[in-house]
Amino acid sequence: MKTNRLARASIIAGAYVVITYILQPISFGPIQLRISEALTVLPILYPEAVPALFIGVMLANLWSPLGLVDIFGGSIVTLISAYVTYRLRGSVLAYLSPVLFNAILVSIYLHPVFGWPYWMTALSIGVSEAIVVFTLGYQLVKFLRGKV
């Protein structure tokens, strides 16, 4: 059982890194469509996804143009979001967690770097996150539950 969870966590972290790396041009900045964020709903199904996403984001953000602030900031935001998603896993609110935490918290450090107003950065990040989470992420959970 522990081996399965470790393997699943490794796959989640690795998939996050690979997807972000392959889609680098659309994965960073105030206007982004980070497709790998579809994986942020996996704590709904798997508790091991919480640390896996933290590690995956930390490694993926090694390619971020923002450097350490995104490596650590983005990873911590993801850890908080993934934990809340796990705690709310029986509710539709679980899907909102990555959208709200990324929009509100990641925008705090993105907006001064790119010179955008905070509200515009939060809106941009929130909309892109919502698109990915409520389309790809929702379908991924549905598929893994065997309801497709």
**pLDDT for residue 148:** 57
Q: In this predicted model, what pLDDT tens digit does every residue of 30-77 receive, in sequence order?
A: 999 999 999 999 999 999 999 999 999 999 999 999 999 999 999 999
Query: In this structure, what token pair is assigned to residue 135?
Result: 């389309």
What angle is formed at CA 75 by the lines to CA 24 and CA 138, rounded to 5 degrees? Answer: 70
Angle at 51 between CA 101 and CA 134, to 5 degrees: 45
* Alpha-helical segments (H) within the chain: 2-22, 24-27, 49-60, 68-87, 93-101, 107-114, 118-132, 138-144
Q: Which CATH number fits domain 2-144: 2.60.40, 3.40.50, 3.30.160, 1.10.1760?
A: 1.10.1760
Mean pLDDT within 131-139: 98
114's tokens: 């790119």
Spans of all domains in the chain? 2-144
* Mean pLDDT of the chain, nearest integer: 96
Q: Is the pTM of this model over 0.85?
A: yes
Q: Classify residue 36 by burial, with Cβ atoms within 10 Å: 0-12, 13-18, 19+.
A: buried
Separation between Cα atoms, residue 99 and residue 128, nearest integer Å:
9
